[in-house]
C-alpha cells in the first residue's frame, strides 16, 4: 500500500507513524527532524 505522508508530501511504501484519531502520517525518518525548522 502506498501512502502520501503529511509532513513531507512524498509517496512511499515504507514504515510510517500514524495518528489514528486524526489520520496524520509521517515517515519514521521525518520523525527524527529537529523540533524547529527554518522555512525560507
DSSP assignment of the chain equals --EE-TTT--EESS-EEE-TTT--EEETTGGGS-S-----
Q: Which residue ranges make up each domain of the chain?
A: 3-32
pLDDT category of residue 38 using cuts at 50, 70 and 90: low
- pLDDT of res. 37: 63
- Each residue of 3-37: pLDDT tens digit? 788 878 888 887 888 888 988 888 887 777 777 66
Q: Higher model confidence: residue 16 or residue 38?
A: 16
Q: What is the pTM of this model?
A: 0.52
> Are the C-beta atoms of residues 28 and 14 closer than 8 Å to each other?
yes
Amino acid at each position: 500500500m502506498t501512502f502520501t505522508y503529511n509532513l513531507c508530501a512524498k509517496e512511499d511504501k515504507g514504515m510510517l507513524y500514524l495518528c489514528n484519531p486524526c489520520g496524520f502520517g509521517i515517515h519514521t525518518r521525518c520523525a527524527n527532524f529537529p523540533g524547529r525548522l527554518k522555512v525560507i
